[in-house]
Copies of this chain bind each other. A is one copy, B any other.
Amino acid sequence: PWSGWRLLYLPSLLDHLLGHDQARRLIHGIKVAIAIVLVSLLYMVDVIHDRLGDNLMWAIMTVVVMFELTSGGTLRKGVNRGFGTLCGGLLGMLVALWAHDIGGWGRTVLVSFLLFIICTAASYFRMIPNIKKGYDYGVMIFILTFSLVAVSGVRGDQIIKQANDRLSAILIGMAISVTTNMLIFPVWAGDELQASLESNFKSLASSIQGTVDDYFKPVDEKLEGQPLDTSKGCKSVIHSKASNESMALFAKWEPMNRRFGHCYPWDDYLVIANLLRNLAISILSLRDCRRYKNQGDSTDEIKKQCESMSDSIGSMLTKLGAHFHNRTKSVAADDVDNLESHKQKLFKLICHLDIDSGNEDDIEGAQIAQFLLVLINII
């Protein structure tokens, strides 16, 4: 017999039918639509409409503007919006009430003057890089609410009732979007960040192996366009900075994500992401060196050493990725010893340090990353 619980499997069913990205977009679309329909039903219910009137439009606006893909993003925007509205509304009401006591042209002049001063200050404040990064939206809402309230207060008589109603409408909108976003198949920014770092680990592991394999191929095979693939992986890792940072920002707002919980050290994730980016740069540089290398001086011995080295770096990265995935204590000491001995051998073996200069760097990167992972997993 069909039961409602089957709906819980909807995401995985859609994943299966449409592919991950499309299923995700579809579910997001449905969530947005549900929130909008809920809020417009409120508008159509007479009791609430009689109480709040056309101010309910603010609830609809809040839902549309606030609804982000991840829960953390939505919460963050909600809090930004809430604070911006409150501060802007209060300040605007003060101005409006003050202006109310003055008649005629004086009122217009006073309001314009205050608008000018406060909007200049707030826009200036908004453009400061750190503020822009974290609170851009909040300050914008502040400017918006302040000017709307101050200006409409000049004509309106029921300033306080208006502000009150509008605030209730915005709160209703916020409540609806937060609950819809977090109760119906939530997408956690923390999970996204985790997945992005895992895939970075993987793509770097395969790039290292690919690059070193490539390096020892005969020249004629090299000319085929293959190496582009490995470099693409590295470049996408290098350019993942902005998205990782915003995900980490959002993830901090998700204490209710069972997988990670409160006070999870997201900043350390950024440190790891940064190390991975440095590693990606080193790998790319290894590729560059390779392009200009004449093959003559790589003896079989070096080749063997390098290949086993790249394999162990690769498997190490894969392992790190897996441990990262399970958030268990980090790689066993054996692996580190293993890498260490490879490194020693290579050191002894060669003095032309073309290849190993790159590789060593990779090892160092991996070791630092590992060290950090150990740190994190202890926490």
Contacts and interface: CB of A to CB of B under 8 A. Distances in A.
A29 B123 contact: yes
Contact of A123 (B32, B41, B152): B32
Contact of A115 (B33, B54, B154): B33
Number of copies: 2
Nearest to A360: B292
Nearest to A151: B40
Contacts of A361: 288, 291-292
A281 to B, nearest CB: 5
Contacts of A292: 353, 356-357, 360-361
Interface in A21-44: 24-26, 28-30, 32-34, 36-37, 40-41, 43-44
Interface residues of A, number: 72
A151 B60 contact: yes
20 contacts: A26-B124, A28-B123, A29-B121, A29-B123, A33-B120, A40-B150, A40-B151, A44-B151, A44-B155, A60-B147, A61-B144, A64-B143, A65-B140, A285-B286, A288-B358, A292-B357, A292-B361, A293-B353, A352-B354, A354-B354
Interface of A: 24-26, 28-30, 32-34, 36-37, 40-41, 43-44, 49, 54, 57, 60-61, 64-65, 69, 108, 111-112, 115-117, 119-124, 127-128, 140, 143-144, 147-148, 150-152, 154-155, 238-239, 241-242, 281-282, 284-286, 288-289, 291-294, 297, 351-354, 356-358, 360-361
